[in-house]
Each structure stands twice: as C-alpha cells, then as structure tokens.
Amino acid sequence: MRVLVTGGAGYIGSHTLLELMAQGHEVCVVDNFSNSSPVVLDRVRSLSNGTVISVEADIRDRAALDDVMDSFAPEAVIHFAGLKAVGESAVKPIDYYDVNITGTLCLLAAMDRVGCTRIIFSSSATVYGEPVYLPYDEAHPLAPTSVYGRTKLMAEEIMTDWTSARPEASAVLLRYFNPVGAHPSAQIGEDPSDIPNNLMPFIAQVAVGKRPHLSIFGDDYDTPDGTGLRDYIHVIDLARAHVAALDYAARTTGARPFNIGTGQSYSVRDMVAAFARAAGRDIPVQIAPRRAGDIAAMQADATRAATELGWRATHDLDDMTASTWAWQSANLDGYGTH
Ligand code: NAD
Ligand code: UFG
C-alpha cells in the first residue's frame, strides 16, 4: 500500500517506517521536523535500503498537504504528527489544540479531497484518565486529565464522526501505553531535544553519565514498592501494531479504538533495576515528590488487539532496556542535532 506517514521522522514514526517497508509498503513522510531531524530519515533509508519520500511541511499547511496527496496518492495515512508533552500542554494549550486538532482537521480535509479513506491514529492511554478499574479495556470511561489527553480524545471523536459521514472510511485509533526501546541496529531510537520528560530516556542519560541521578517521582503510591506502575511496550512491537492496523483498515469500515500495550506493568524501581542489569552499571536514584497529574498505575487489556488485529507484543522488559542501552551508548548525543 502507499502510506502517507505524518510525523514519520519522530521516535515512533521512524521505527514504523522500517516495519512498513519490510512488509513491502511504499512510504511518504510529511514532517516539519519541529521535534526531529532529516538525519533520522537518512538512517531509515540506509537501514532499509529503500525509498523514503520526504516532504518538509506542517500538517496545518493545507496547500502543502494537497500537493502531497496529489503527487503521492496515498491509499492510507498513519498520523503520528503532534505535540506530546503532558506538562507542556498545560502551559501551551492553544499550541496543543492547534497542532493536534487543527492539524488533524487539515489532514482529514486533504484526504477527503483525494478520496483517501483509511487513517491509523496515534492515540494514547491518557484518554482514560484516573482508572475506575485496571487493566483498562476499551470500554473504560474516557476522562483525560490533561490538555494533551483531551486533544487525543477530541481527535478520536473527530475521526469517529468522519467515518460516520463516510461509510467506506476506516479509522483505527491506537491507544499506546508507554513506548520504550530502540531499533536492534542501535541506529534509530528516542532522542529527546531537552531534559527528558519520560522515564526510560532519563534513565538512559543517567546510565551514560549525562545526568547525575534519576529523580523517582514519589515512592508512596499504593503499589507494591510505592513507585508508579506502567505498561511499557517495545517500540518495535508498537511499530508492528501499525502494520496490523493497516491490514485491518483495508478490510473494515468505521472507527475502532485498540489498546496497544503488553498487559503487564512494571514499577519505576523495576525499570531502574532492569536498566542497571542491561547496562552493567548502577543507576543512582533520589526520591522526589510526586509529579503533578501522575496516577499510581496504568495497565492495558490488549485482548481486542490480539483478537481483531491479530497483534500481540513479543518483546520483554530485557529487550526494552537492552535496546535502549545499545542505542544510547552508541549515540551519546542521540542524532547529534540538538
Ligand atoms: P515525536 O515528537 O518523536 O514525533 C512526532 C513527529 O511529528 C516529530 O517528527 C515532529 O517533528 C512531527 N511534528 C510535530 N508537529 C508537527 C506539525 N505541526 N506538522 C508536521 N510534523 C509535525 O513523538 P513520538 O513519541 O514519536 O509520538 C508520535 C505520536 O504518538 C504523537 O502523536 C504522540 O502524541 C503519540 N503518543 C506518543 C507516546 C509516547 O510516549 N511517545 C504515547 C502515546 C501517544
Ligand atoms: N518517572 C519518574 N522520574 C522521571 C520520569 C518519570 O519517576 O524522571 C515516573 C513517573 O512518575 C511514572 C513513570 O515514571 O510513574 C512513567 O512516567 P513517564 O513520564 O515515562 O510516562 P507517563 O506514564 O507519565 O506518560 C507517557 C507519555 C504520554 C502517554 C502515556 C501513555 O508521556 O504521552 O505515557 O500511557 F500518553
């Protein structure tokens, strides 16, 4: 299939490009490189030995999107492009609504213009909010607690309304849990442009000596060791979920959400211990106050993805930490572009 990938130079997008190309799909990336670099796409090209068409454009640029739709004529779109920092979304809500909502509207309008009827969307477990029960299944109430989470839920609703108006259209809403890990080549990985917000890239930077210690945000949660529990998913498994979602979109219509997680959860202390094992060195930690907005535990019920997409995670915690360590230790400054 010809697949247009918005945000394809980003962390999850770049890994997904490689999985798509490995399955014979043709790809075209639209990215404004606001949180990535064209260097990433060069690495994808050399790893895949394939063609990655790339257009530097903002997804809110309607004329640019129309040009790409006309020249590439995609049969499906995978929509990664967006802003993703939960804390920043409280400080810059208009930017988040603009990129995540206006951007989605511009994309759907451009797809409509050329009759492209399949979209795979990067949603998030944050659409659920404070758990009423765990593991979350897709029927769990939706009550996001951040601006970021609300943009994801609104975008899901927009795509659901779009499929209602277009009986032939399909929107696959992938609710990612916590993506971590890197490509086995150690040439593609997560490269935060600033101080990492997320746990795994922070631990990785402590392990290579770029930061003195990890602050554990709270050890007094109602969890077995007092630290937060999350369902971490290897980025390669996540990338493969998109390939499965494309097949699903080709044989179904309507909008459907899917949890994309492993169904297992690990604490912050579990992650630190696993990373120390992978890196063969200690990870110094300090206990810090809870981070505003954090919840104690999150875990996916990913049964629907297994049953309907035929997808399930195959990488374990050691794969996640070992691949992150391999990437970070081989690329001390990530892609070296910040
Ligand atoms: P990322 O920042 O690495 O990738 C996003 C890409 O989109 C970047 O290359 C960026 O340059 C591009 N982009 C941003 N705004 C754009 C715009 N206006 N026009 C064109 N390109 C633009 O993020 P990621 O971790 O790869 O996440 C991809 C998607 O998955 C995002 O939508 C994110 O919200 C969602 N998601 C991520 C996580 C996570 O923990 N990483 C969890 C759940 C959902
Ligand atoms: N944590 C620390 N110290 C840090 C960073 C994180 O102790 O320096 C803890 C957090 O308190 C939490 C756990 O590590 O208990 C995971 O935190 P992350 O920031 O890595 O991930 P979150 O679960 O907060 O959120 C992430 C993404 C969201 C996404 C969500 C989906 O940031 O965009 O996963 O579940 F929507």
| Residue 269 within any structural domain of the chain | no
Query: Structurally, how many domains does the chain consist of?
Result: 1
Which of the four pLDDT bands, split at 50, 70 and 90, describes residue 310? very high
* Residue ranges around ligand 1 (CB below 6 Å): 7, 9-13, 31-36, 58-60, 80-82, 84, 99, 103, 122, 124, 176, 179
Cβ partners under 8 Å of residue 258, min gap 6: 138, 172, 173, 174, 175, 241, 245, 302, 304, 305, 308, 309
Please tell me the distance between residue 100's alpha carbon and the centre of ligand 1 in angstroms. 10
| Residue 216 within any structural domain of the chain | no
Which of the four pLDDT bands, split at 50, 70 and 90, describes residue 108? very high
Cβ partners under 8 Å of residue 274, min gap 6: 266, 317, 318, 320, 321
What average pLDDT does range 120-141 have in this prediction?
A: 98
Which of the four pLDDT bands, split at 50, 70 and 90, describes residue 35? very high
CATH at 240: 3.40.50.720
Active-site residue (options: 148, 176, 248, 266): 148
| Residue 326 within any structural domain of the chain | no
The beta strand positions in the chain, using DSSP E, are 2-6, 26-31, 52-56, 76-79, 118-124, 170-176, 178-180, 214-217, 229-230, 232-234, 254-260, 266-267, 285-288
> For residue 338, is pLDDT > 90?
no
| Residue 279 within any structural domain of the chain | no
Q: Are 229 and 297 in contact (CB under 8 A)?
A: yes
Q: Which pLDDT value is given to residue 281? A: 95
pTM for the structure as a whole: 0.98
| Residue 255 within any structural domain of the chain | yes
| Residue 287 within any structural domain of the chain | no
Please tell me the distance between residue 199's alpha carbon and the centre of ligand 2 in angstroms. 6
Please tell me the distance between residue 85's alpha carbon and the centre of ligand 1 in angstroms. 9
* Residue ranges around ligand 2 (CB below 6 Å): 84, 86, 124-126, 177-178, 197-199, 202, 214-217, 228, 230, 268, 291, 294, 298
What average pLDDT does range 11-34 have in this prediction?
A: 98
To 10 degrees, what angle do helices 199-207 and 317-330 make?
Answer: 50
Which of the four pLDDT bands, split at 50, 70 and 90, describes residue 36? very high
Q: Which amino acid is at 184?
A: P
Ligand with minimal distance to 205 CA = 2
Give burial (CB, 10 Å; 0-12/13-18/19+) of 195: exposed
The tokens describing 162, both together, are 């779009």
Q: Are 146 and 152 in contact (CB under 8 A)?
A: no
Mean pLDDT of the chain: 97
Pairwise pLDDT comparison (314 vs 193), residue with the higher score: 314
| Residue 212 within any structural domain of the chain | no
Active site residue 148: yes
Q: Are 180 and 234 in contact (CB under 8 A)?
A: yes
Q: How many CA atoms lie within 13 A of 139 on its CB side?
A: 2
Domain residues for the domain of 56 are 2-181+233-263+300-315
Q: How many CA atoms lie within 13 A of 30 on its CB side?
A: 30
The tokens describing 8, both together, are 């394809």
| Residue 193 within any structural domain of the chain | no
Ligand with minimal distance to 241 CA = 1
The CB density around residue 159, as the number of other CB atoms within 10 Å, is 23
The CB density around residue 191, as the number of other CB atoms within 10 Å, is 25
Residue nearest to atom 19 of ligand 1 (CA): 58
